[in-house]
Amino acid sequence: MEQLVSALLIMIIGVLACAAYFYASNWLLDVLFPSKNKPADIVAKNIHITNTVRPWLFIGPALIALTFYLIYPVIESIRLSFLGRAGEEFVGFDNYAWLFSSDTFYQSFKNNMLWLIVVPTASTFFGLIIATMTDKIWWGNIAKSLIFMPMAISFIGASVIWKFIYDFRSGDDAQIGLLNAIVVFFGGEPQAWITVPFWNNLFLMIILIWIQTGFAMVILSAALRGIPSETIEAAVLDGANSIQIFFKIMVPQIWGTIAVVWTTITILVLKVFDIVLAMTNGQWGTQVLANEMFDWMFRGGGDFGRGAVVAIVIMVLVIPIMVWNIKDVNKEMEGR
Amino acid sequence: MMAVSSSRSSLMWVVHITVFILVVMWTVPTAGLFISSIRDKDQLSVSGWWTALSVSEQRLVARSEHPDKQVFSSDGRYEIRGNILEHQDSSITKFGSSSLRPDEFDVGVVAQLKGGKTLQVLENGDYIYSSPEQWKGKRGKRIFYTANIPPRFTLDNYREVLTSEGLAKSFINSLAVTIPATIIPILMAAFAAYALAWMKFPGRALIIAAVVGLLVVPLQMSLIPLLKTYNLIGEFFGVGSKGYIGIWLAHTGFGLPLAIYLLRNYIAGLPGEIIESARVDGANDFEIFSKIILPLSFPALASFAIFQFLWVWNDLLIAMVFLGNNEEQLVLTGRLRELLGSRGGNWEILTASAFVTIIIPLCVFFGLQRYLVRGLLSGSVK
Amino acid sequence: MADLKLTNVSKRYSNNVEVMRDINLDIKQGEFIVFVGPSGCGKSTLLRMISGLEDISGGTLEIDGEVVNDIPPALRGIAMVFQSYALYPHMTVYDNMAFSLRIAKLDQETIDHYVRKAADMLQLTEYLDRLPKALSGGQRQRVAIGRAIVRKPKVFLFDEPLSNLDAALRVATRMEIANLKESMPDSTMIYVTHDQVEAMTLADRIVLLSAGNIEQVGTPLELYSLPRNVFVAQFIGSPAMNILPATIYACGETTKVNVAGQTNITLPIKTDAGEKNKTAQFGIRPEDLQVSENGDYVISGNIEFVESLGESTLLYIKADGCSDLVTCKLQGILKFKKGDDVKLSASPEKMHLFDANGMNYREV
């Protein structure tokens, strides 16, 4: 109870402090440079001042937070990648040299590439299939809602859910994991799935696909509904069958949206960490970059240099997407 | 025409069935978790959750009463009597006295054991263990039995995780982290988004491009430098480097690019004439923002609020880096990870804990799905 | 007192494109001025510069003798009715009208008085508690006007306020605006439209703009009967004035021209001797042409299309010497058909003559 009250109190203070900043700073600006009931030339001058200052009052806190939490760390990480364990002594390219000679890095990198190919593709594929089919049936919205649901579940919660499915009992004990129970039912040999090299990567990926398919489905479903129905009707009159309509008329029209979904999931995959940490912690050949980075950050008191190097690899992988996004938005702004 | 419509209706059946199978595949994992979390822990560990409603056959072991309780019966034997069943609704089918052959005898039979001892176990669990000599030893004898146990559901697992496993505390911690970490970035982002959409100042285009670029910067880049900086700040002020304010601000910083991007798109799409009209009516930018923009942006604010809420509540990485590992700071995701390590085989603990951690997001999800979908769309479809 | 004076006003965007050049305009208190012109001519930009929503790049804008270039919109004593009405969708009609008064921190009683008075005048009293989305287009329009009235502005600005209404409502609302003007004879009103009927019916004076320049300022009938140049002549009036190629062959108190190589016409227009033998443009409005009865004609040709509108008949004529079809508007239902030859005449007072640059030879 006491904890609840103190948590509540600290919450209210935090939020109010933020709101108070905006209110007070704007109030101060209007008091210092009033624009009402003053001679015209003073009004014009004050208006000019407030118009110059106010945007920065509005955007200032966000700018400071972005700088401190995202821009500065990127630069600092690059610097740290040239420093040693504690981030103090300069070691040149040692960390990079270590990285490229490290077996675990190659394994993580290879696994990450596998994740990058499988997860976005599978999620987008299932999302597109489900979006297309649910649009045709009367209970489609309920189906979509249920398939979308895993989006709300944390990676760690999802890991528990799936670990339970992959659970393995040795000997003659009844299998309580669904997957092994099915295998046994069909006469197969139960397995400790998450320890089977290579394939265990796929079992981990299934978790993320399970979560992300709903996202792909929702976006693609909206895009499909945005297709002008005249184009489909025209194709029907031209004699196309359902499959042809889907691949030749509908998919090309939502190509842009498919790309957006694909890149969004790609970015997420690069950062995947919780699932691997919870399921295997990188054992049995399932290590990925994000988990390896986390590992180096804390292992034996932490090796900041090596951690930073791994982080930079992740960063380099997202740069193409970043550049593409910025180009896109600049084009859009010029259009206005 | 007939051929076309019949092939269409058979196609529709395929669609119905396929979607049904997909829905089952997507919901069964969560359903299994939930069902398991309310099962009796003994049943949970020996049978799959899909058998939860059927009577399960379990092999169990119990001990007879302590030798102190033996009585000298009229026929000159030493007897120990009692009942081995914990729950009266179960029924025993087989029993045995040795772990090698636990189902040697059918229920009701008087089993002849070595040394002239006999053991009889009845269906309701009553047993008579008798011996020509006096019972010795400090403990009761083991009795192996096979019993049919009816399905049993219980909230005991939840009671246990909420109290002794400390999930109730973590629940409050999660709330204390999540609510401010949702509201603060919304406030900051809404002001920034308005400035970027409707105010003129130098560098505006550059800031917009930067925000879009930062959208995809991986968190991993930030962790080490921020951990160092937090430690320095903590040392400087002589306080711990891990605390609520730190994690609120961290979530704010990491959530801001998406928040600004979403809200700017929405606010820039509001009709410009309304804003000009307010300007002609004498409102300054702060008044326009608070009296016109905020009320009109409610749908976008709600969408982002849901995103951020889910993201913060479900986050593990930032919580592990910026919060301490103690009772006062461990949030639900962190607690679940600890349990996964320490109670790896206790599925009654894990399933109940997992369900506690996902219940709030699920409620938010089903209650506010409309806003969530709208937010996703405004962020992704151009 | 609310005179407006624009002196050498110009507008340049940051990419150095000049969209308005040297605008000079005097507007007297109580006038109803209409800015009209084709889309992109800068009429809305000019209105927005007067309102203060757009910066003025050069020149001065004076309201009541005071330069207001740097004064924010709210302090210029203007009110604006927007094309989309720009009602605040989350506020009731009452709150919409009270918004500016609340921003100005008037007391509740005064606000209530002004709002109710305006609502009464515009027959909005019973809708005061409604949100804009529960109103019809015409009612929304009236709320937008009411929002302007409560501020008691010196100058009302209207930015194409009727363009979102359907045709029937547009006529009714146009009359309401005319009535509004009558009930507030001291207020200056500036009204932007691309619709020349609105301009002709509402304006005391029309300002006709094209490509960032003022082409002509004058009363509606001045613009109709004495256009300064071909652009004005063709913009005002529907169907547009016919412009035929012509050559001047005699100058003086009257001018003799050859029209399209077909006929020689004497116009009651004075020209200098230097104009002789120059090419010119001969203008005649479709409604000023008649079928020739006595054999004299201005232009003859072969009918290409006939459009029967009931009250009038439009003939489109292919005439020798003219690249464009000549339009002729005749009253009533007439039995012409495609392929007929016709000869058209007109009274000399109705004829217009423009020089090669498009300027009218008559004094404007």
Q: How far is A198 from chain B (nearest CA, A)?
A: 23
Lowest mean pLDDT among A2-16, B368-382, C163-177: B368-382
Q: What is the pLDDT of residue B382?
A: 37
Residue B379 — pLDDT band, cuts 50, 70, 90? low
> Are the Cβ atoms of A35 and C68 closer than 8 angstroms?
no
Q: What is the pLDDT of residue C95?
A: 92
Record the tokens describing residue C95, joined without a space: 């709150």
- The residue type at B86: E
Residue B164: is its pLDDT beyond 50?
yes
Nearest CA-CA partner of A123 in A224, A246, A218: A218
> Are the Cβ atoms of A47 and C70 closer than 8 angstroms?
yes
Nearest CA-CA partner of B17 in B5, B25, B28: B25
Record the tokens describing residue B24, joined without a space: 């089952």
Residue C57: is its pLDDT beyond 50?
yes
Tens-digit pLDDT profile for residues B108-126 = 888 888 778 888 888 887 8
**For chain C, how are helix, strand and coil distributed in percent, rounded to 5?**
30, 35, 40
The three-point CA angle B225-B230-B231 to 5° equals: 100
Record the tokens describing residue B71, joined without a space: 């009585």
Residue C64: is its pLDDT beyond 60?
yes
- Write the DSSP assignment of A160-227 as a string of letters: HHHHHHT----TTSPP-SHHHHHHHHTT-----GGGSTTHHHHHHHHHHHHHHHHHHHHHHHHHHHHS
Residue B30 forms contact with A (CB below 8 Å): yes
Residue A295 forms contact with B (CB below 8 Å): no
Nearest CA-CA partner of B104 in B82, B58, B113: B113
Tens-digit pLDDT profile for residues C36-51 = 988 888 888 889 899 8
Place of tokens 């506020």: C91
Contact between C139 and C172 (Cβ < 8 Å): no
Q: What is the pLDDT of residue B2?
A: 42
Q: What is the pLDDT of residue B99?
A: 77
Check residues C143 and A100 and name the one with the higher pLDDT.
C143
Q: What is the pLDDT of residue B381?
A: 42
Record the tokens describing residue C301, joined without a space: 């040709």
- Residue C266, SS3? strand
**Average pLDDT, stretch A101-127?**
89
**In angstroms, rounded to a whole number, what is the distance separating the alpha carbons of residues C283 and C288?**
10
Check residues A302 and A290 and name the one with the higher pLDDT.
A290
Tens-digit pLDDT profile for residues C252-263 = 888 888 888 788
Nearest CA-CA partner of A148 in A220, A86, A228, A213: A213
- The residue type at C313: T
Reported as type and span, the H/E element at residue C230 is helix C230-235
- A94-335 domain in CATH 1.10.3720.10? yes
Q: What is the pLDDT of residue A48?
A: 82
In DSSP terms, C67 is beta-bridged to C62
> Which chain C residue lies closest to A50 (C-alpha atoms)?
C72
Q: What is the pLDDT of residue C239?
A: 87
Residue C101 forms contact with A (CB below 8 Å): no
Q: Among C75, C76, C105, C106, which would you mutate to test the A interface (most chain A Cβ atoms within 10 Å of its Cβ)?
A: C75
Contacts of B324 (CB under 8 A, 6+ apart): B240, B242, B243, B330
**Strand C32-36 with C188-193, pairing:** parallel
Q: Among B279, B280, B291, B294, which would you mutate to test the C interface (most chain C Cβ atoms within 10 Å of its Cβ)?
A: B280
CA distances from C307 to C5, C290, C313, C324, C332 (A): 46, 16, 6, 17, 12
Residue B4: is its pLDDT beyond 70?
no
Residue B3: is its pLDDT beyond 50?
no
Residues 42-71 of C with CB under 8 A from B: 51-53
> Are the Cβ atoms of A44 and C70 closer than 8 angstroms?
yes
**In angstroms, rounded to a whole number, what is the distance separating the alpha carbons of residues C141 and C123?**
12
Q: How far is B272 from chain C (nearest CA, A)?
A: 8
**In angstroms, rounded to a whole number, what is the distance separating the alpha carbons of residues C148 and B55?**
78
> Are the Cβ atoms of A35 and C75 closer than 8 angstroms?
yes
Chains that touch B (3 or more CB pairs under 8 A): A, C
Residue B252 forms contact with A (CB below 8 Å): yes
Q: How far is B118 from chain A (nearest CA, A)?
A: 30
Tens-digit pLDDT profile for residues C9-46 = 888 887 778 888 888 888 888 889 999 988 888 888 88
Contact between C187 and C155 (Cβ < 8 Å): yes
Percent of the residues in chain C that have a pLDDT greater than 70, as a whole number:
100
Contact between A334 and B221 (Cβ < 8 Å): no
Q: Which of the residue ranges A92-106, B250-264, B337-351, C280-294 has the most confident prediction, judged by mean pLDDT?
A: B250-264
Contact between B181 and B308 (Cβ < 8 Å): yes
**In angstroms, rounded to a whole number, what is the distance separating the alpha carbons of residues A306 and B220?**
12
**In angstroms, rounded to a whole number, what is the distance separating the alpha carbons of residues C331 and C329?**
7
- The residue type at B247: I
**In angstroms, rounded to a whole number, what is the distance separating the alpha carbons of residues A228 and A235?**
12
Residue C55 forms contact with A (CB below 8 Å): no
Q: Which CATH architecture has domain B158-380?
A: Orthogonal Bundle (1.10)
CA torsion C272-C274-C278-C283 (nearest 10°) is -10
- Residue C88, SS3? coil
Percent of the residues in chain B that have a pLDDT greater than 90, as a whole number:
10
Nearest to B271 among C52, C75, C86 (CB): C86
> Are the Cβ atoms of C52 and B280 closer than 8 angstroms?
yes
A-to-C residue pairs, Cβ atoms closer than 8 angstroms: 15
**Strand C32-36 with C205-210, pairing:** parallel
Percent of the residues in chain C that have a pLDDT greater than 90, as a whole number:
11
**In angstroms, rounded to a whole number, what is the distance separating the alpha carbons of residues A309 and A296?**
10
Cβ contacts of B361 on chain A, cutoff 8 Å: 152-154
Residue B98: is its pLDDT beyond 70?
yes
CA distances from A130 to A78, A125, B23, C269 (A): 43, 9, 9, 79
**Domain residue extents for chain A:** 2-80, 94-335
Residue B380 — pLDDT band, cuts 50, 70, 90? low
Three-class secondary structure assignment of A120-174: HHHHHHHHHHHHHHHCCCCCHHHHHHHHHHHHHCCHHHHHHHHHHHCCCCCCCCC
Residues 339-368 of B with CB under 8 A from A: 340, 347, 350-351, 353-354, 357-358, 361-362, 364-366
Nearest to B317 among A19, A52, A274 (CB): A274
Q: What is the pLDDT of residue B8?
A: 67
Q: In what order do the strands lie in the sheet with B56-63?
A: B56-63, B142-149, B91-96, B105-106
Contact between B281 and C99 (Cβ < 8 Å): yes
Nearest CA-CA partner of B48 in B62, B21, B28: B28
> Are the Cβ atoms of C90 and B274 closer than 8 angstroms?
no
Check residues B218 and B2 and name the one with the higher pLDDT.
B218
**In angstroms, rounded to a whole number, what is the distance separating the alpha carbons of residues C202 and B142?**
108
- Write the DSSP assignment of A242-305 as a string of letters: HHHIIIIIIHHHTHHHHHHHHHHHHHHHHT--HHHHHHTTTTTTT--HHHHHHHHHHGGG--HH
Contact between C134 and C126 (Cβ < 8 Å): no
Please state, rounded to an integer, the average pLDDT across all residues of chain A: 84
CA distances from B381 to A218, A225, A226, B115, B375 (A): 11, 12, 10, 83, 10
Q: What is the pLDDT of residue B1?
A: 39
**Strand C290-291 with C188-193, pairing:** unpaired
Residue B7 — pLDDT band, cuts 50, 70, 90? low
Tens-digit pLDDT profile for residues C70-98 = 888 888 888 888 888 889 988 999 999 99
